[in-house]
A and B are shown apart, each in its own frame.
Chain A
């Protein structure tokens, strides 16, 4: 694992309807990180992620992914994304698991983006990694929330991305499924060497997996290692009584 910078956010501010949602954020994400971006509701976590992915444009500052300015970035097959609403799938949407995962391959293909036999092998491998291969022909709406989330991970990693972004991926999923889900992310990070950026408001659940923490509340309050986070007096004040829970690793 080296210290190659995959994402660079420099002095980024974002204003929505005259309200400053993010102010002068500077952050670097290096290869191999398992970074949790935490903060209270409305702190700008999802906004920051959308800015990094080019879904929103910053009012100030500069964002680079894999060394390229986000406005000119084209290597989308190196980036995986699991959105927040992935756990709210339309139960009547008629796509099979295979068709959903195939969507992830489109960024690596040239027009016309037909799915070939070799692509199907990649899909099989991705489904195997998330232990969902036996559901390949199942309609996505027939799966449980936890299973759907695994399919979305498969879609996000089918191109073997360098970095995987997840926005509150376990919202609405039961505790047991959450634990299995984070175990899987841990494997992707350690074995598959995928850099993971996880937006969450429940630091207690992901505590044992993460290496680094970025704490947001319109401004970047903290960015550093898990251990540094536990010793930070600023964080103790910010999170009040939760500090002892957060720093307990299983």
Chain B
């Protein structure tokens, strides 16, 4: 296709596909564990991480990865050890991250434009270095999920039985939190911190509408996410609209279509 003969579009497509695979693989676990909003919380925390990176002239991806990973583990540990509800812990950590980000941005004053690019993302401006970092992070997520696939499915479905089978549930929950942190950081330059949660949630929610098994749902989610990125980039290019918004709206259309398909299928089977 003509538009993908441009190098910046090739980088955009590859980084978007990599992100979509990571998001879809994690999203299904997060949704089924009722933790869909952890991505939202972590993206707020990442805002603080980006501000720190820009303030100290360090690659924001690195500072964000550190800050978000520590916060993700903090959320898991506070929930586990201090008996605080997870959404409360997310609320506390995300507020701290956002507040810190605002203060640092205000103190520095001169990097607000850079900060905005992380909030809204700019997939068309992905550099080669960022593409390679995206590849490394996605491979980390992919390999981790493949290696711990059955264990993660077990702790998602029935954590108590998983624990009674000798699974290290707490360690697996921490792994999931760290992988989510990595995904949020991966997504901040591509679709932006404000929309990365959407890519974590919507394709997996779409897959859940029709998947008959966990494996099938996972593959469907990856397909929906990847197609959303592909079509979103095409619409963005020809329609001259922001790519991140186009990607998320197309993913939403996939969700809506599969949701209606499921409803109609139920209705048809009941009346038939």
A residues neighboring B (CB under 8 Å): 53-55, 74, 76, 79, 81-83, 85-86, 90, 92-96, 98-100, 102-104, 106-107, 111-115, 137, 139, 155
Counted as pairs of residues, one from A and one from B, with CB atoms less than 8 Å apart, the total is: 80
Q: State the CA gap A106–B158 with chains docked (Å).
A: 13
B165 and A100 contacting across the interface, CB-CB below 8 Å: no
Beyond the given A94-B214, A96-B213, A137-B213, please list 11 additional residue pairs across the A-B interface where CB-CB is below 8 A. A53-B164, A74-B166, A82-B161, A86-B158, A92-B208, A93-B32, A94-B216, A99-B215, A103-B165, A106-B150, A114-B150
Residue B114 lies at the interface, judged by CB distance under 8 Å to chain A: no
B163 and A106 contacting across the interface, CB-CB below 8 Å: no
If A103-B158, A103-B161, A106-B150 touch, whether A76 touches B166 (CB-CB below 8 Å) is yes
Q: What is the chain A residue whose CB lies nearest that of B146? A: A112
From 219 to 266 in chain B, residues with beta carbon under 8 angstroms from any chain A beta carbon are none
- With beta carbons under 8 angstroms apart, the residue of A55, A99, A139 that contacts B160 is A55
Q: What is the chain B residue whose CB lies nearest that of A103? A: B154
Q: Which residues of chain B come closer than 8 Å to A54, judged between CB atoms? A: 163-164
Q: What is the chain A residue whose CB lies nearest that of B217? A: A94
If A99-B213, A106-B154, A112-B147 touch, whether A94 touches B161 (CB-CB below 8 Å) is no
Q: State the CA gap A139–B217 with chains docked (Å).
A: 11
A95 and B208 contacting across the interface, CB-CB below 8 Å: no
Determine the main DSSP class of B at the interface with A.
Answer: helix
Q: Which residues of chain A come closer than 8 Å to B166, judged between CB atoms? A: 74, 76, 107
- With beta carbons under 8 angstroms apart, the residue of A82, A98, A100 that contacts B157 is A100
Q: What is the chain A residue whose CB lies nearest that of B34? A: A90
Q: State the CA gap A93–B213 with chains docked (Å).
A: 9
Q: Which residues of chain A come closer than 8 Å to B167, judged between CB atoms? A: 106-107
Q: What is the chain B residue whose CB lies nearest that of A167? A: B160
Size range of the chain B interface in the assembly: 20 to 34
Q: Which residues of chain B come closer than 8 Å to A139, judged between CB atoms? A: 212-213
- With beta carbons under 8 angstroms apart, the residue of A90, A95, A106, A114 that contacts B165 is A106
- With beta carbons under 8 angstroms apart, the residue of A55, A76, A113 that contacts B150 is A113
Residue B115 lies at the interface, judged by CB distance under 8 Å to chain A: no
A55 and B164 contacting across the interface, CB-CB below 8 Å: yes
Q: Which residues of chain B come closer than 8 Å to A92, judged between CB atoms? A: 208
Q: What is the chain B residue whose CB lies nearest that of A115? A: B150
B214 and A83 contacting across the interface, CB-CB below 8 Å: no
Residue B153 lies at the interface, judged by CB distance under 8 Å to chain A: yes
If A54-B164, A76-B164 touch, whether A96 touches B214 (CB-CB below 8 Å) is yes
Q: Which residues of chain A come closer than 8 Å to B161, judged between CB atoms? A: 81-83, 86, 103, 155
Residue B162 lies at the interface, judged by CB distance under 8 Å to chain A: yes
A103 and B153 contacting across the interface, CB-CB below 8 Å: yes
Q: Which residues of chain A come closer than 8 Å to B208, judged between CB atoms? A: 92, 94
Q: Which residues of chain B come closer than 8 Å to A81, judged between CB atoms? A: 161, 164-165
Residue B151 lies at the interface, judged by CB distance under 8 Å to chain A: yes
B147 and A111 contacting across the interface, CB-CB below 8 Å: yes
Q: State the CA gap A86–B160 with chains docked (Å).
A: 10
Q: Which residues of chain B come closer than 8 Å to A114, judged between CB atoms? A: 150
Which of A53, A79, A103: most chain B CB closer than 10 A?
A103
A99 and B164 contacting across the interface, CB-CB below 8 Å: no
Query: What's the nearest-Cβ distance from chain A to residue B16, in Å?
Result: 25
B151 and A95 contacting across the interface, CB-CB below 8 Å: no
A96 and B150 contacting across the interface, CB-CB below 8 Å: no
From 182 to 236 in chain B, residues with beta carbon under 8 angstroms from any chain A beta carbon are 207-208, 211-217
Give me 23 A-to-B residue pairs in the complex whose CB atoms sit less than 8 angstroms apart, sorted by A's number: A54-B164, A76-B164, A76-B166, A79-B164, A81-B161, A81-B165, A83-B158, A90-B32, A92-B208, A94-B217, A95-B153, A95-B214, A96-B212, A98-B213, A99-B214, A99-B215, A104-B165, A106-B165, A106-B167, A107-B165, A112-B146, A139-B212, A139-B213
A103 and B164 contacting across the interface, CB-CB below 8 Å: no
Query: What's the nearest-Cβ distance from chain A to residue B172, in Å?
Result: 11
From 98 to 114 in chain B, residues with beta carbon under 8 angstroms from any chain A beta carbon are none
A55 and B163 contacting across the interface, CB-CB below 8 Å: yes
Q: State the CA gap A111–B151 with chains docked (Å).
A: 10
Q: State the CA gap A137–B212 with chains docked (Å).
A: 8
